[in-house]
A and B are shown apart, each in its own frame.
Chain A
């Protein structure tokens, strides 16, 4: 969002205010705004705001997309990192695509870093979607939901 002075007299000063909502962001964030002016030498200028958004738990992705061919399988993983100085624990509380996907939780660094490995199971051509819900011991972020989407593509005979 932006608010600005529409005209600045010769020798005068103006302001452009940029606002960034950080809800839903995590980690490094870059936002910019393109400014168009009537200065023929600088009629387009880009203003940037950057910073770091702290969250209790960092996720490398909000979800995974598993695309495999008929009879085959594919694996993807999501990394979960503790953003607080307390050890993090994860406990699965819901998994809606157990007949199409398997998963495994790897504790890479005790209480700090985890990897959730998802592997699609062979099956007939289809599209599917679901989720894995994890309960955490952080009151600031008691639940994590990882979205799962997948496709088993029909093999094309040549």
Chain B
């Protein structure tokens, strides 16, 4: 009887935890980066090297870039 009760309660809980309902998917901004590192190869000293990183917001709310701090 005890085993049966455990099965009745535990199995639906496991199913709920493993397969959350669609409406409960993580919401908010979602940052996706095309690349995190860029190799500019060889350059002569004195040149200014520039590179643009592309980023995407795959979320459902605006993604804010709060700060970019070169270091």
Contacts and interface: CB of A to CB of B under 8 A. Distances in A.
Given A1-B70, A51-B41, A22 B46 contact: yes
A125 B61 CA distance: 67
Contacts of B2: none
A49 B38 contact: yes
B70 A35 contact: no
A39 B45 contact: no
B31 to A, nearest CB: 4
A15 B54 contact: yes
A48 B41 contact: no
Contacts, number: 162
Contacts of A14: 54-57, 63, 65
A18 B43 contact: no
B68 A34 contact: yes
Interface residues of B, number: 42
A51 B40 contact: yes
B47 A22 contact: yes
Given A8-B55, A39-B28, A51-B41, A2 B68 contact: yes
Contacts of B31: 37, 39, 41-42, 45
Given A18-B50, A22-B45, A51-B39, A35 B57 contact: no
A38 B59 CA distance: 11
A104 interface: no
Given A22-B43, A34-B68, A50-B40, 15 more contacts: A7-B64, A15-B53, A18-B53, A22-B45, A22-B46, A33-B68, A35-B67, A37-B31, A38-B63, A39-B29, A47-B33, A49-B37, A51-B40, A51-B41, A54-B42
Interface of A: 1-2, 4-26, 31-42, 45-55
Interface of B: 26, 28-31, 33, 36-71
